[in-house]
Every structure is written in C-alpha cells, then in structure tokens.
Structure 1
Amino acid sequence: MTEVRDHQVVVIGGGNGGISVAARLRRRGVDDIAVIEPRDRHVYQPLLSHVAGGVARLSETVRDQADVIPPGVTWIHDAVTAIDPESSTVQLGDGGRVRYGQLIVSPGIHHEWDAVPGAREARASGRVASHYDPAGAAALSPMLRDLRSGTVVFTQPDEPSSCPGAAQKPMYLACDYWRAHGVRDGIRVLFVTAKDSPSGMAHIDAELSRVIERYGIEVRYGSRVRAVDSTAGTLEIEGPHGSETVAFDVADIVPPQSAPPWLRNTGLAAHDDPGGFVEVDPRTLRHARYANVWSLGDAAGTRNAKSGGALRKQTYVVAENVAAAVRGEAPAQEYDGYTVCPYTVSRRSVVWAEFDEAGRPKPTIPFWRGMYRESRLSWVFDRHILPWVYWNLILTGRV
C-alpha cells in the first residue's frame, strides 16, 4: 500500500528559498513543516562565480543538507515527481505521497542543455563549462587561470534565468587576473548576451560599459549561442546581423533555463507560459487558482529578475502569508519586486545593482547614490560578509 504522509506545510526544495521560508515559519510558530529535497549537499550559489574566477574555494560554497534543515522541520530526502493540486498531494520518487495543508513550491530552475545542440557533449571536452553548478565552476577555474593566449567566450542567456548578471562575473575576474599577469593582450574575450546592453538599466550600464572598455571585451548584444562543436572548437552565434562561427579555446556557456520539467505538468503554470513557471500573484506570491499553493524563487512566475536578493524579501512575504493562512486569516504582506545583483567587476570591486521588476533603481540606502558605483566596500560585503550572513542569518530565518 502506498504510504501517505500528512503535514500542515510542505515545502518543495531545500535551497535558499525553501530552507529560509521554512525557518521563518518555525519562528512564527508553525510546528508541522516538511521540506522535500533529494540532494545531500546545500550550495551557496552566488559564490560559484567567485570559484570560477579564482577568488573562492569550492568548499566555501557547500554544506551538508542535514546541517541546514531548521530544527523541528522534517526533511523528506526524496525527489518530487508530480503535484496534484486538486487533492493537495505531492508524489515522491519512491512512490510515496505527501498530503499538505499549505504547499510552498521552490525547487529552483532547470538548465535546458539540449536547447543548444552540442552544448551538453561539449562539457566533457575539457574546454567548455558552466559556472552555474559547483562542478562546472570548479572545472572552469583552472581553464581560465592557465590560459595565456587564445579566445574565450562567455555567454548570458535569455530571461527568465537565474541571476542572469552572474554570467558576467567570471569574465571580469578572469580579465583582471590576465591583466595583472601581463597576458591580457594575447587573449580575445567575447561576451555573448541576449540583452541589448550590459544590464538593461542605464545607471548600471554606464558602470559596466566602462569596465567592458577597460578590459577590451568584444560584445555581441542581442545574440545567442545556437550550437557548439567541441571537436572543432567552434560555436555558432546568431545575432541581429546574422550568424557567425567563432573558434574558441575556452567557453563558459550558460544555457537557456525553465522550470523543472516535472513542474510543467502539474497544472500550476499559466497555460500560455512556455517556461512552466508557477502562476502566482506577483505581490502575495499565492497561486492564482489554488489558494493553498504558494511559490517563490526561480520557479515562481514573478516579474522580477530572479536572484538570491529577491528571495530574501520573498521568503518574508511567503512566511507571513502562509502563517496567516494557517491561522485562517487573509494574507496581508506583499512583495515589492525588489532584487539585487552584485556585479563583480574586478578582484577587488563590485557594482551593486538594486532594482525593481521594471528595472528602476531601488537602493536599500536611498540617499547614497554611490551604492551602484564600482566599489571596494561592495566587494568586501559581497565576497566576505554576505556568505556569513547567508549561512548564519538567512538560512535560519533571522533576516
């Protein structure tokens, strides 16, 4: 007989969003919470770009999943294969089912490697990697460090994608390293981005354009990598003026992204959303059709740019609203669309970009205009302070 478990609140995903919201709910007095997460290791994603760029160790980014599960929260160490919102049940990989009172969906995002012909195979070639996962970041670091001449390609995918600006960070870190070692002039650096400018925000574009000029980076705006041939060492780029084939020595390829495939078949996505993201009210983060379903983070169909900075505000809103729902009250908190992307532009400076879903500046300190200028202080905060805050305050539901 299939096992059926019951929990007042079920959280799908043990990443930043899932763990943080579960911890916040515990602090608000919700006792019966289960987190469903199949992975044994928890990753601090923002630091992977620093690993790829050679200014952080991989060991700094990972901890045992068991160590970050909040006290009093049940960890269901399995994968979700389906959700039936009509019967309020979740199907697990082992055949079991979990019945929920309130469901929070935060499983992260799926990398569509097969959407770029040859890209998946190219990752085994020794000269193609993606720093958006731990193994890829660790592999990319020596590729960039040991290069002394040739062509390097960095790519940034279409949105929606997870922290798209992070695609640029290893590029700037590598350029700074090569320049310090006197080899920058012998390396062609090509940046391929689907955007029409470095960030899409005028005040941030001004800062990043100076950085791009400083390093002599070639940019293909409004462009995408359409195919990779790792045997020939070439990739095909399609842009506003047609296609070009580029020979490369190293490539950091970030593929198109979507909601996890199993999530698309649950009925939780909007009918016209090809990415399969959970259809939510962008303010309350409650599902548009199922009142006991909520979503946040990369899998949520919100209007903001997806990032860990957005999650910090979203976890507060969801925790408050779910706690209210458990008490039989109406949700009162609203997410304001805030997100943040620290652009690491050298091995000692960061451009700190805070903005809303329309790309308008939304600084934490409104009167300090220098917040979005290239800054050493922002580097110290992003590289050294934020990781400590993440492990000790964010994941414990304190901030």
Structure 2
Amino acid sequence: MFSKIVRNGNNRPFINSCRGWFSTTSHDHEKHSCKLLIVGGGTGGCAVAAKFSKVMKKQELIVLEPSDYHYYQPLFTLIGAGVGTLEGSRKKTRDVLPDNCIWIQDKADGFDPKSNIVKTKKGNIIKYDYLLISVGIEPQFEVIPGLLEALSRPGGVCSNYSPKYVNGTYEALKKIKSGNAIFTYPNSPVKCPGAPQKICYLVDHYLRKEGKRNDVKITYNSSLPVIFGVKKYADALWKVVEDRDINVNLRTNLIEINSDKQEATFQNLDKPEEKMTMEYSLLHVTPPMATPKALSDCKELTNSAGFVDVNKDTLQHLRYSNVFTIGDCSSTPNSKTAAAAAAQSNVVQKNLSAVMQGEPPQSIYDGYASCPLVTGYDKCILAEFDYNLTPLETFPFSQDKELYSMYFMKKNLMPPLYWHLMLNGYWNGPAPLRKLMHLNLNGEK
C-alpha cells in the first residue's frame, strides 16, 4: 500500500497542510494504493469518508474529487428565488473532507473493476481493495438545442441546477413584468425531483407580492405522468396549483429553445409527433441529467441507463462484492435527494464494514427519501416516503399541509445539520427521531 508524495516546482515535497497529499500537476503519472477508495466527494462521499476516517489509518482511505468547492445544493432553489447567496451555500472541499484521509484532487476517467483500479483524468492510477462510487449525476445542458446559448445571454432563460447559473434565476425573476413564465421537468432522472416545481411556486408568490401576478401566466411542463410520485403529496400539490391558477401539462418535454424569438418547443411524450411552441418571458429549465461518462462507459459496473448496478437493499454491487455505491449515481429506485444519501450512508458503512471482515451485508436501505416541497416564501410541504412511495413521515401529524414550520426547518435548520452533522458522519437521517415521535408504533427497527 503506497501513496506517492507530490513535489512542487522546486522539487520539494509539499503536503496540503490538513488534507493529505494530492497532485497539482499532470506531468508524472502516479500510482496510489489504498484499502478504501471513494470516488466522488459530494454529499454521500463526504459522509462515508467521515465515518471510515474514524476507524482507518490515513493512508488506507483515499477520496478522489476534482472540485475546489463543495455546494449544499438543496439551497439552490431558495437562492434562485432571492433567499440567501451562492457563497453561503458552499465551502472549500478541503474543509469538508475529513483530516484523516488522502484527498486526490482529480477526476475519475476510467474504471477497471476486474483489476480493482481507477484511472484518473491526469493519467494516474489508484488501486483499491474496496470501492465506493459516489459521483452523482450531472446536468446535461448541451443536450437541449439552444439552451446553452440562451443561458449565456439576457432573455429570461435560467436554471437553478448549476452554481454557474443559479444567480441568473433571480435576475430573470426581477425583470419579468408580463407574458409567460414556464418551468420544465426533463425526460430523465434528476437530482431533487421536487425542485423543478418548487421554483414555480416561489415565482408565483414573488409575483403576487409585487402585484404582477395577473399579468403573468405560469405553466409547469413536466415529462412525468404525475405531478409528484407519492399520491398523498400529489393530491396536496394539485390543490396548490389549482388555487394559484398554475397551468400544468404532464408528459410534456422541452426539446429546443430559440432565444432570438424567446420561444420554447415541447414534445408530447405520449404522441411524439405532436409538438407545441410557446413564447416565454421567463423560462426555468431543469436540464436532462446522467451519470458521468467515465462511469456510464463502464458496462461492467452499470446498468443500461448508466447507473451503478447494485442491490437496492444492501447497496452492494450485483457482480463485484467489493464495490458499493451511494447517492444519485446508484441504480436504486429511490428519489435522488440529500436525505436519501444520509439514510444510505449508515447502510453503506455497516455493509462495507461487514464485507471487509468477511461477513455478508445485513443492513437494509428501505428507500427513504425526503423532499421539502417549498410552496412559497413562508410555507413548505415536507414529503417523506420509501421505495414503495408510501409516506414515511417523521412528525406525529399529517405532513401534506403547507406549514411555516417546515419552511423554517428547510431554510434554517437543515443547512447546519448538513454541514456539521451529516458531512462529519453523524447524521443518518431522521429514523431515530421518527421512532421517538411515533413511539415506534410502526415497528421500525
């Protein structure tokens, strides 16, 4: 087991003072070896790294992550509506990774699970005994013709799904005075599936406060056949859109933007030959998303859709017993949210530890996910559910109501919980709190 010391331009070894060794050049190809390699330092990767850093030696644990900054992405919806700042949603990656690990600031470029090797973008090789894949899914703005051009110029096209563009949403919102405000949901998996309609409700509330709502028609075009996957919350959301005169078109997918004419073209997914073009004053686009190409190209690790092919209960790979996954890049059929990653982190830790000790994985992930459905600047429906889309609510009251308390929790309590507890390996979701609130009447283990 080894990890090469990086040298600077004066040929003197240097160490990132508190995060371990990492390469800052692409000259000499390096070889690294570790017991556990975590590919991806996002939400799930950080949480699991923190857990194992408490029981492993530093040289046994490597995190491969290219980014300088780590973002708390659940805040992007509020930032797009003018609540909070982008700077307030991020920290330096070196400050969220545990001290007791080696951070290699590079990106995975190829996986070889037969040889237990990951190749990096800089051409370096990392050999591992055990692998955790936590690379998430990436927005594919380039897939929709005209979208990148529209985002690069004034004209009302915006997206909360990137730190590069999120500030543009509020700028577009402040400028709209009349016309059509359109919000989209793509024909692909997305991170935080509730977010495409959260910004729709916030824009509605903003326009009402500014006295402009009567002059703006709001439309939510979703590729899905339902407004939300869990019927209990879907019923509540249908009441919201009806009360606020928001037009909803299901099975309607954005396929092209003409920013010169401020027009968006949509396709009826049930009748692909049917297309409609809509003028817009504001167009919030949720882009299609997919796993990184380096991962999806590895057919030995992924399913036909490019997601890591794992047992949905144990999160262990179906063919490589030393490979696990967490978060959005997993094939597990849960809603892709930070809350899901929190619940998965405990399962991954237990099952990966068991496998390391030569034992079978026993811990089960039930598909728990949470989506705080913000419906205004002071209200929120807290949706919680499992694999079966059955509500799995934490509080001892029905959560299909718009409540200020849930908005306050989303805006003020969840960010510090994320930064201080989850990323440090101490938060595994609200299951213990749920048992306490319900006196464990549902028999949860």
Structure 2 stretches of 5 or more lacking a match?
1-27, 428-445
Q: Which amino acid letter does the alignment assign opposite residue 46 of structure 2?
A: I
1:117 is aligned, of 136, 145, 166, to 145
Count of residue pairs brought into register by the alignment? 395
Q: Percent identity?
A: 30
Structure 1 stretches of 5 or more lacking a match?
none
**Equivalent position SS for 2:165:** helix
The range that moved more, 142-151 or 375-384, is: 142-151
Q: Does 1:351 align with 2:381?
A: yes
- Partners of 2:300 and 2:71 in 1: CA distance: 26
Q: Does 1:252 align with 2:284?
A: yes
1:329 deviation in Å? 2.5
Q: Which amino acid letter does the alignment assign opposite residue 20 of structure 1?
A: A
- Partners of 2:253 and 2:372 in 1: CA distance: 23
User: Matches of residues 85-124 of structure 1 in structure 2 within 5 Å?
Assistant: 85-124=113-152
> Residue in 2 aligned with 1:82?
110
Assess if the C-alpha contact under 8 Å between 1:17 and 1:311 holds in 2. yes
1:290 is aligned, of 303, 320, 324, to 320
1:398 is aligned, of 413, 417, 426, to 426
Q: Which amino acid letter does the alignment assign opposite residue 252 of structure 1?
A: H
1:54 is aligned, of 82, 94, 104, to 82
Q: Does 1:161 align with 2:190?
A: yes
Q: Does 1:262 align with 2:289?
A: no
**Equivalent position SS for 1:238:** strand
2:264 is aligned, of 215, 218, 235, to 235
User: Matches of residues 1-399 of structure 1 in structure 2 within 5 Å?
Assistant: 2-29=29-56, 31=58, 32-126=60-154, 127-239=156-268, 240=270, 242-271=274-303, 273=304, 275-365=305-395, 368-399=396-427
1:184 deviation in Å? 0.6
Give CA deviations for 1:180-238 in whole Å, capped at 9, x if unaligned: 11111111111111122320322101211122122211111111011111111101111
1:116 deviation in Å? 1.8
Assess if the C-alpha contact under 8 Å between 2:29 and 2:122 holds in 1. no
**Equivalent position SS for 1:134:** coil
- Partners of 1:289 and 1:42 in 2: CA distance: 31
Give CA deviations for 1:251-276 in whole Å, capped at 9, x if unaligned: 111111111111112234445x2x31
> Residue in 1 aligned with 2:440?
none
Give CA deviations for 1:120-152 in whole Å, capped at 9, x if unaligned: 222112221210111211111111123221211
Q: Which amino acid letter does the alignment assign opposite residue 256 of structure 2?
A: A
Q: Which amino acid letter does the alignment assign opposite residue 344 of structure 1?
A: V
Structure 1 residue ranges, 4+ long, deviating more than 3 angstroms after superposition: 27-31, 268-271
1:359 deviation in Å? 1.4
Q: Which amino acid letter does the alignment assign opposite residue 331 of structure 2?
A: G
Assess if the C-alpha contact under 8 Å between 2:295 and 2:302 holds in 1. no
1:370 deviation in Å? 2.2
The range that moved more, 75-84 or 136-145, is: 136-145
Q: Which amino acid letter does the alignment assign opposite residue 255 of structure 1?
A: P
1:28 deviation in Å? 4.4
**Equivalent position SS for 1:340:** strand
RMSD: 1.5
Assess if the C-alpha contact under 8 Å between 1:263 and 1:276 holds in 2. yes
- Partners of 1:249 and 1:148 in 2: CA distance: 8
Greater helix percent: which structure? 1
Assess if the C-alpha contact under 8 Å between 1:157 and 1:164 holds in 2. no
- Partners of 1:393 and 1:269 in 2: CA distance: 31
Higher Cα radius of gyration: 2
- Partners of 1:154 and 1:103 in 2: CA distance: 38
Q: Which amino acid letter does the alignment assign opposite residue 292 of structure 2?
A: P
- Partners of 1:322 and 1:378 in 2: CA distance: 34
Q: Which amino acid letter does the alignment assign opposite residue 292 of structure 1?
A: N
Q: Taking CA–CA contacts closer than 8 Å with sequence separation of 6 or more, which of the two structures ends up with the larger relative contact order?
A: 1
Question: Against the structure 1 CA distance between its residues 310 and 348, is the aligned structure 2 distance closer, same or farther, given a 3 Å change threshold?
Answer: same
- Partners of 1:313 and 1:27 in 2: CA distance: 19
1:19 deviation in Å? 0.3
TM-score (normalised: structure 1): 0.95
